[in-house]
Structure formats: structure tokens, C-alpha cells
């Protein structure tokens, strides 16, 4: 327990240390990489709520990531072209304010998760995986065939969106923002993990019969966490789009769902900082090996295989030791 | 005649060609232990599942304290006061004994959707859980994971979770399955005391335990109740001896 705590704190501190160092050394690219790690980790923290605590193997989280991305793209593109988003029944203008964009990202990905979850959670096991995958693909094809926002080519946003009191064009400021959001999500995950809801949810993952006979419906617990999980991943999508100043259907692709899941598995399923460790390792490998060979995914695959075979707890399991779950 | 707490009325259930329950009527009265006995495959667990809400009967009703609960699902029936234990333990194995019991208290009192605060914080929730853990004699094991408990410990834990529900009726499917002689002796005492809290409908194969514990016994053979009565009446019943007890003696 103690060791896990130290490992988490060390890992969390590493990211701002790297970013601040890079800022002093005038290495903006490194800051951008650290920002990318924070944002992808955020997407993973979202998935890990459903996967780690709820046992819900969703291969459709790209849907939420993409919805968050397009929430940013759509609002910002209207703001950039000075055209209203909607004139009837009420006038809705575009926006280039991050809080507004985040709110839309949270609400729309939450609603999507509610619908997708309500339907998918009637199944389980491999059917659940397939249905979530199918929903993700539906969004993918929809985004390709919808011409209003760039269709297949995606949508470029020329200005980074603003946040009150910060200059988001300064890489370190934008990093700070993404990192702060990640911290909030980690705090939320911790809070939930030790709460009565977390206890019931974790029990439902282990034995739905046990939870039912205790008078609690597993379906509703799981739907609740699925919506929260989708919202967090959706927020990550909005930040990711802002980082790249670009949104495209690839955010909706099943490869995106797969990558978010890879962060979680690499880092350690159900570990608080698993997604952070996984995303950091992923970006590190991409930078180191991607330069050597275009086929760096082969190495990634081999690493994933080793972890699944020999280290179920992922990187965090190796660093922090077994059994990190709250109040065990 | 004392008050009926839980009743099955005219329950029938078919699995394809197999008639697992045939027009079963049975009641559980305040203060009693009612044992349900019968050979393997007689349909005991099938009946328990219909009472607890896991299976829907083809015909008939389940009535709890005068209220028809047939249309309600397992979770709703549990909240109304039907506390079920399983033939094969169903516990959150990675969780500690205390966590498992807290789940029961949460179910009974509500609050399973509260996302703040520590589930195990000191307070009435935990007090109730610890009380139930103590009642079954697991206090020393409260922080042990269910997976690390002995078989007997898990059986005790299931009963603790059921107790934490503050139920109107206990419905237990073979609470002593797989216990050795001394284990089932300890559990017999625990079960015997439970009837003061709420009546117990109990499926059991261990005839010594049944004769020691039961106020009444119902005998289920091929999906049909062939006799209900006190221990002495059942011992003396010739149909029962032929269908069931005789078989035991021959085995
Ligand atoms: N879901 C099901 N589908 C089809 N047949 C079933 C199902 N559940 C039980 N059965 C059959 O119904 C019969 C009664 O089973 P049940 O489990 O109720 O018996 P039991 O009296 O509890 O036996 P045991 O003493 O072995 O626990 C058995 O023949 C069983 O194979
Ligand atoms: Mg049975």
C-alpha cells in the first residue's frame, strides 16, 4: 500500500519535472510530448474506470474520444468562421473558450455513453466487446461521410482555444492545463474507488450474483461508471484536438480504442496510475523506436505480449507491487 | 398457527422436457427453520432460485409478508427482505470479509451510489457490518480476503452478508455443503440461533443437521412436495422413507 503510494506520487511528479526542464532548456517539442502523455493518460484514466473498476472491456472508447474532439472542432470552426452553430430554435454561436468546449465535450460524450452503455450492458463478455466496437465504428463511418465538418479530411483549427488567465499558446501553459485536468481525473478515480459506489462496483465485477442478492442492481452501477468513463475520455478527446489543432475521423477509429486500451494494459489494469505509466511508455517507445523503424508496433506488440504473460499488473504492478486497490 | 412470512403458492417450472417444479406450495412461518430435503436433481435449487428471483416460475406466486413479489427481480426482493445464500459460494473473492458484508448493509440501507467518503469509514455502516461479522464468528478474519478464507469461513461469510441485510426471511441453499463434521457442528449452532432474527428456509443434505435444526421439513421428489411436517412426522412417513430416507440408508 505504502509502496504503491510512493510509486504513484513519483510517477505523477515526473511529468511536470520533464515539462519544466524542457521549458528551461527551450525544447518545446518535449513539452508537447509531455502534454500528449498527460492527455492520453487522461483518456486511459477514463477507460480504466470502466475496465479496471467495472470490469467492462470496452473496445469503443474511441467514440467518446472522437466526440470530445469534434466538440472542440465544431465549436472552434464556427468561431473561426464567425458563423453561428445553430440559428433555430435558439441562436448558438461557436466558441473558442476551452471551458465552453469542455462542457460540450463532457455532456455529449456522457450522453453517448449513456445510450451506448444502456444497450451494450445488456450483454457481457465477448458480445459486450463487439457491441462497443460496433458503436465506435458507427461514429467513425458517420464522421467520414458527414461533409459539413471536413468529412474524411478532418478539420483544421488555426488558433488554439483560450482559457481564462492563461496563454494557451505557450507550451508550458497548455501542459499545465492538461496536467491539472489529469490530476482532477485521478482524484476522482481515487474518490470513487474507495467510496461505497466503488465498493459495490468492484463487487459487481467479481460476482454480479452477489451484488444482486445484496439488493443492488449491477446494471445500474455499471451504466453509471460507463457514463463517467465516457465523459473523462471525451474530455481527453477535446484536449487532444486542441493539442493538434486538428480533428479527423481517425480519432473515432478502432485503432484509437485499441491504443487507449494498450495504455491501460501496459501500465496496469485497475491501477490508479496505470494509464499514465502506459501512455508515457507508449510515447517513449514511439519516439525511440519510431525513429529506428517504421515497424515499431511490432516491438510494442511483443512488449504487450510479455506483460500479459508475465506481469498482469503491468508496469505499475512491477514498480508498486501487487494489490493496490483502495482499502484492501 | 403462527404468522406466514414467506410463501410459494402453486409454483411450476419446466426446463424443456423436464418438469423441475410441479405445483409447489410451501410456507415459512415466523420463528421457524423449515428444511427442504430431497434427492439430487429433485429441484430444490430451482425452487430456491424462483423464491429469490433468479428464475421466473411458469405458474404460481411468491408472497412475502402478504405482498406478491413474483414480478420483482432479485435485487428488489433482496431489498424487501429475502436474504439468499448460495449452494456454491458467491462472494467478491478479491475483497475482504468486511467489504463483502458492507455490501450487504449498503444494499439494505441504500447508499450504493454515494461516490464520496470511505466505504469503510467508522460509522453506522461499518458498525452494522462488524456486528454481522462478529455474529458469525469471523471477527479475526474481517480483513482477510474472501479468497483466502477456508471453505467454512466462506460459508460463514455468506451468512454474515445475509444477516447484514436485516432480512425478513433467510433462504439458504445447502449452507453446510462441503463442511467437515466439526465445521458443520459449529454452523449448526449459528443457524439455530438465526431463526430468532428471521425464519430460515434451508435446503440441506446433512440429515443429522436437518433433524437437529428443523422445526418443519418438506420433502421434494421429482419437482413435487410429497410431504411436509415436523421431524417426527417426516421420520414416520412411509412415502418419504421409500422415496428418500430409504435411499439414504441403502447408500
Ligand atoms: N437452467 C436449467 N436448464 C435446464 N435444466 C436445469 C436448469 N437448472 C436445473 N436444471 C435441471 O433441473 C433439475 C433440478 O435441478 P436442481 O439444481 O434444482 O436440483 P437440486 O435438487 O438442487 O439438486 P442438488 O441436490 O444436486 O443440488 C436437474 O435435473 C437439473 O439438471
Ligand atoms: Mg441444488
**Domains along the sequence of chain B with CATH:** 1-79+169-251 (3.40.50.300), 82-166 (3.40.50.300)
pLDDT, averaged across chain B: 93
Whether residues A199 and B111 touch (CB distance < 8 A) is answered with: no
Please give the number of the atom of ligand 1 that sits closest to the Cα of B46: 18
Check: CB of residue A304 under 8 Å from CB of residue A262.
yes
pLDDT score, position A291? 79
* Cα(B19)–Cα(B59) distance, integer angstroms: 12
Output the tens digit of pLDDT for each of chain B's 251 residues.
Answer: 579 999 999 999 999 999 999 999 999 999 999 999 999 999 999 999 999 999 999 999 999 999 999 999 999 999 999 999 998 989 999 999 999 999 999 999 999 999 999 999 999 999 999 999 999 999 999 999 999 999 999 999 999 999 999 999 999 999 988 887 777 888 899 999 999 999 999 999 888 899 999 999 999 999 999 999 999 999 888 888 887 655 554 43
CB-based contacts of A115: which residues, under 8 Å, 6+ apart? none
Nearest to B131 by CA among B96, B107, B166, B155: B166
pTM over 0.90: yes
Instruction: State whether residue A1 sits within 8 Å of chain B by CB.
Output: no
Q: Which residues of B touch A313 (CB under 8 A)?
A: none
Residue B171 three-state SS: strand
Whether residues A210 and B103 touch (CB distance < 8 A) is answered with: yes
For residue B44, give the ligand nearest its CA. 1
Q: Which three cell numbers stand for residue A136?
A: 465506435
pLDDT score, position B239? 84
* Cα(B191)–Cα(B18) distance, integer angstroms: 33
* Cα(A228)–Cα(A181) distance, integer angstroms: 15
pLDDT score, position A87? 82
CA quadruple B213, B33, B99, B45: dihedral sign: positive
Q: Is B66 left (phi over 0), alpha (psi -120 to 50) or beta?
A: left
- For an interface test with A, the pick among B53, B82, B92 (most A C-beta atoms closer than 10 Å) comes out as B92
Whether residues B92 and A203 touch (CB distance < 8 A) is answered with: yes
CB nearest B84 (choices: A196, A197, A213): A213
Q: Which residues of A touch B84 (CB under 8 A)?
A: 213
CA–centroid distance, B45 to ligand 2, in Å, is: 4
Whether residues B112 and A197 touch (CB distance < 8 A) is answered with: yes
3-state helix, strand and coil shares in percent for chain B, rounded to the nearest 5: 40, 25, 35
* Cα(B211)–Cα(A167) distance, integer angstroms: 80
Task: Quickly list H helices, B136-230.
Answer: 151-164, 181-194, 207-213
Q: What's the CA angle centered on B29, arms B28 and B33, to 5 degrees?
A: 70
Q: What percent of chain B has a predicted confidence (pLDDT) above 90?
A: 84
CATH topology of domain A2-320: ABC transporter involved in vitamin B12 uptake, BtuC (1.10.3470)
pLDDT score, position A187? 97
For residue B54, give the ligand nearest its CA. 1
Distance from CA of A204 to the nearest CA of B (A): 8
Q: What is the CA radius of gyration of chain A?
A: 19
pLDDT score, position A326? 41
Give pLDDT < 50 ranges for chain A.
326-328
CB nearest B103 (choices: A194, A203, A220): A203
Q: What is the ipTM of this complex?
A: 0.92
pLDDT score, position A224? 98
Amino acid at each position: 500500500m505504502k509502496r504503491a503510494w510512493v510509486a504513484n506520487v513519483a510517477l505523477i511528479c515526473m511529468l511536470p519535472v520533464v515539462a519544466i526542464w524542457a521549458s528551461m532548456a527551450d525544447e518545446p517539442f518535449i513539452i508537447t510530448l509531455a502534454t500528449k502523455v498527460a492527455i492520453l493518460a487522461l483518456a486511459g484514466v477514463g477507460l480504466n474506470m470502466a475496465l479496471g473498476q467495472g470490469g467492462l472491456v470496452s473496445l469503443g472508447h474511441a467514440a467518446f474520444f472522437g466526440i470530445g474532439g469534434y466538440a472542440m472542432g465544431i465549436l472552434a470552426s464556427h468561431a473561426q468562421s464567425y458563423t453561428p452553430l445553430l440559428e433555430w430554435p435558439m441562436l448558438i454561436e461557436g466558441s473558442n473558450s476551452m471551458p465552453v468546449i469542455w462542457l460540450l465535450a463532457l455532456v455529449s460524450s456522457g450522453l453517448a455513453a449513456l445510450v451506448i452503455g444502456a444497450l451494450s450492458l445488456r450483454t457481457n463478455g465477448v458480445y459486450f466487446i463487439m457491441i462497443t466496437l460496433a458503436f465506435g465504428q458507427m461514429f467513425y463511418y458517420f464522421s467520414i461521410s458527414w461533409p459539413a465538418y471536413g468529412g474524411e479530411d478532418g478539420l483544421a483549427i488555426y488558433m488554439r482555444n483560450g482559457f481564462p488567465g492563461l496563454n494557451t499558446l505557450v507550451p508550458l501553459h497548455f501542459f499545465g492545463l492538461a496536467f491539472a485536468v489529469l490530476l482532477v481525473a485521478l482524484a476522482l478515480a481515487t474518490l470513487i474507488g474507495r467510496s461505497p459506489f466503488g465498493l459495490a462496483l468492484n463487487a459487481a465485477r467479481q460476482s454480479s450474483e452477489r451484488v444482486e442478492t445484496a439488493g443492488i442492481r449491477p446494471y445500474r452501477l455499471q451504466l453509471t461508471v460507463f457514463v463517467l468513463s465516457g465523459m473523462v475520455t471525451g474530455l481527453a478527446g477535446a484536449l487532444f484536438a486542441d493539442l493538434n489543432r486538428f480533428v479527423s475521423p481517425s480519432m473515432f477509429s478502432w485503432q484509437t480504442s485499441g491504443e487507449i486500451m494498450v495504455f491501460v494494459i501496459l501500465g496496469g489494469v485497475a491501477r490508479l496510475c496505470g494509464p499514465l505509466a502506459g501512455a508515457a511508455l507508449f510515447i517513449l517507445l514511439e519516439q525511440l523506436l519510431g525513429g529506428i523503424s517504421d515497424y515499431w508496433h511490432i516491438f510494442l506488440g511483443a512488449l504487450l505480449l510479455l506483460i500479459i504473460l508475465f506481469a498482469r499488473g503491468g508496469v505499475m504492478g512491477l514498480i508498486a507491487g501487487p494489490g493496490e486497490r483502495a482499502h484492501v | 398457527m403462527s404468522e406466514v412470512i414467506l410463501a410459494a403458492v402453486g409454483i411450476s417450472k419446466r426446463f424443456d422436457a423436464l418438469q423441475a417444479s410441479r405445483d409447489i406450495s410451501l410456507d415459512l412461518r415466523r420463528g421457524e427453520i423449515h428444511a427442504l430435503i430431497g434427492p439430487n436433481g429433485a429441484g430444490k435449487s430451482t425452487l430456491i432460485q424462483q423464491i429469490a428471483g433468479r428464475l421466473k416460475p411458469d405458474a404460481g406466486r411468491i408472497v412475502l409478508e402478504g405482498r406478491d413479489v413474483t414480478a420483482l427481480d432479485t435485487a428488489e426482493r433482496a431489498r424487501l427482505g429475502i436474504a439468499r445464500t448460495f449452494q456454491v459460494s458467491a462472494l467478491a473473492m478479491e475483497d475482504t470479509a468486511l467489504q463483502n458484508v458492507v455490501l450487504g448493509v449498503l444494499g439494505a440501507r441504500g447508499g450504493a451510489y454515494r461516490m464520496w467518503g470511505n466505504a469503510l469509514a467508522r460509522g453506522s455502516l461499518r458498525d452494522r457490518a462488524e456486528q454481522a461479522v462478529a455474529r458469525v464468528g469471523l471477527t479475526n478474519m474481517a480483513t482477510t480476503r474472501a479468497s483466502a478464507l477456508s471453505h467454512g469461513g466462506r460459508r460463514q461469510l455468506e451468512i454474515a452478508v445475509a444477516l447484514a441485510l436485516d432480512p425478513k426471511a433467510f433462504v439458504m441453499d445447502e449452507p453446510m455443503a462441503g463442511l467437515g463434521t466439526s465445521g458443520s457442528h459449529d454452523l449448526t449452532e449459528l443457524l439455530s440461533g438465526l431463526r430468532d432474527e428471521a425464519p430460515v428456509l434451508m435446503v440441506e443434505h446433512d440429515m443429522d443437521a436437518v433433524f437437529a435444526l428443523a422445526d418443519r421439513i418438506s420433502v421434494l421428489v421429482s419437482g413435487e412436495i410429497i410431504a411436509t411436517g415436523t421431524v417426527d412426522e417426516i421420520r414416520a412417513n412411509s412415502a418419504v422413507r421409500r422415496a428418500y430416507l430409504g435411499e439414504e440408508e441403502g447408500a
